[in-house]
Structure 1
Amino acid sequence: HSPYYLEIAHPYEEVRRGALKEALKILEVSRKLESTSATFHPFTPGWLASIKEKARELNVVGFRELVKHGRELGVQILVENVDHGAFRSPPDIRYLLDHVDGLLMTLDVGHSVINGGLEKLKSYLKKCGKEIVHMHIHDNDMSSDLHLPIGAGRIPWPEVLGEISNYRGTVTLEVHSSDPDYLRISKEKILSILKPQEGARHQRYEQGD
């Protein structure tokens, strides 16, 4: 994951070029670490939402540059959905995927339910499902980006995990805590929800449903 504050689509060209220069360093490090992908947020501060079309154009330019250099280094570029600014909805992320050849997606499940709930998550899956190759999972109160341990917020995890049950890519538990026990607890909670769901699916399969 790159620093979320990289200004790869800043309206001032010199600022944008500087941010892209730093982003290329991140790709170099990713290659040295033998990471096959790198996730970037679209640049979308609140004030940029007032010039949404320009923001879209600049992000397309920035992500095309990242994808180009990523290909040279063998690192796949992923765009992550955010919960604010000019790229806070499924159609906004779809726009980037449609206009940047080779760009794929990290679905941040926590971000996807903020100010939209389960229906917003479903929309991401419907509009962007084929491009989703990584996921971030964390909890929140469904109105703020809190990155809580699983179970500490209000996200309905049985329903959410049911929606993404066909996903077979990689997942990061993006829990913001210095205590690793919260990662372990979050993993255990996710697995405890998945186990009965898997059992039910196997039973339906055996019954021919």
Structure 2
Amino acid sequence: MKIGLSTHMSFDLSPLDFIRLVGKLKVDFLEIKLDDLRIQRLLQGGDAQRLKELTDSLDLQVIAHLPYIDVNLASLNTEIASASTNSLQKWISTASQMNVDILVSHVGRLSSNYPAMYLKSARQNAIRSLHHLAGTAKRYGLKFTVENDHNSPNHVIAGYASDVKKIAEEVGCEVTFDVGHANTIDKPSKFIPALSGLIANVHLHDNVGKSDKHLPIGRGNIDFPETLRGLKEKDYDGPLIIESHSLNDLSTDLSRLRNILSTI
């Protein structure tokens, strides 16, 4: 398993300066969050090649997390679902210029204003949209993954392991397993057998099981040694992306993760 770090829009560093910092921290992967307006401006300004050259020079493998803010592939409003799909297809095209290995997409949710009886329709909308996106990714030679969701006041479509597995199998894609999200639904280690063979990327952050807090590793109640051991037992050898929301916590998270990996 190889360690990586993700960008975050709250970081008080320019995208390029953050990437240089990631290079100094000696990790293998960088996950770029395409919701970050600074990154969007950089890429839309024609600097995808500049970003690619920087990550190549630092020997970083790149993962692109497609936008999810103001996006809902599961929307029952067909105009919103269609606009969401079209927007993400354009971002897949942009990501292909950055030497990306893996794409990450959220599935979407059904608004809590709708009764649960509409969940089936929302799921069908999401599957349809994800099919289009997976097809676009395939044409560019990119690995497309769906990410498991955390609990929410809205109706969650991809929360439980069984739901995520079914969606990935229907779409014909792989999974980004978010350990912090899983902890708000069930014990993370329980997800691993169900998703075995489908996991292509892993997100790491902590919480106490109630909400998606993105705490540093060890500040919540997730048993990371158990979870990482479970991944290792299933022969997972892909990226472990630390999703920190604080620059000050990066070094601590890296140290704790490296210590855990040395003991399992």
TM-score (norm 2): 0.68
Q: 1:192 and 1:128 mapped to 2: Cα distance?
A: 25
- Aligned counterpart, 1:79: 146
- Aligned counterpart, 1:22: 87
Output the amino acid matched with 1:162: R
Deviation at 1:54, TM superposition (A): 1.0
Deviation at 1:45, TM superposition (A): 3.8
Bigger fraction of residues in helix: 1
Unaligned runs of at least 5 residues, structure 1: 198-209
TM-score (norm 1): 0.85
Q: 1:16 and 1:39 mapped to 2: Cα distance?
A: 18
Counterpart of 2:186 (choices 116, 119, 136) is 116
Counterpart of 1:149 (choices 216, 230, 233) is 216
Contact 1:107–1:136 at 8 Å: present in 2 too?
Answer: yes
Unaligned runs of at least 5 residues, structure 2: 1-64
Deviation at 1:67, TM superposition (A): 0.8
Deviation at 1:68, TM superposition (A): 0.9
- Aligned counterpart, 1:172: 241
Higher normalized contact order (CA 8 Å, seq sep 6+, divided by chain length) = 2
Output the amino acid matched with 1:83: H
- Aligned counterpart, 2:96: 31
Deviation at 1:104, TM superposition (A): 0.7
Q: 1:49 and 1:32 mapped to 2: Cα distance?
A: 41
- Aligned counterpart, 2:262: 195
Output the amino acid matched with 1:173: I
Deviation at 1:62, TM superposition (A): 0.7
Q: CA RMSD in A?
A: 1.6
Structure 1 residue 52 corresponds to structure 2 residue 116: no
Q: Deviations over 1:18-54 (max 9, x none)?
A: 1111101210121011102210111114426722211
Q: 2:237 and 2:115 mapped to 1: Cα distance?
A: 34
Percent of aligned positions that are identical: 24
Q: 1:139 and 1:49 mapped to 2: Cα distance?
A: 31
Deviation larger for 139-148 or 42-51: 42-51
Deviation at 1:9, TM superposition (A): 2.4
Q: 1:110 and 1:88 mapped to 2: Cα distance?
A: 12
Q: 2:73 and 2:106 mapped to 1: Cα distance?
A: 9
- Aligned counterpart, 1:107: 177
Output the amino acid matched with 2:228: L
- Aligned counterpart, 1:200: none
Contact 1:136–1:172 at 8 Å: present in 2 too?
Answer: yes
Counterpart of 1:67 (choices 134, 157, 170) is 134
Aligned length: 191
Output the amino acid matched with 1:41: H
Bigger fraction of residues in strand: 2
C-alpha spacing 1:49/1:66, structure 2 compared with 1 (3 Å):
farther
Q: Deviations over 1:127-171 (max 9, x none)?
A: 211010100001111221011111222212222222222320112
Deviation at 1:96, TM superposition (A): 0.6
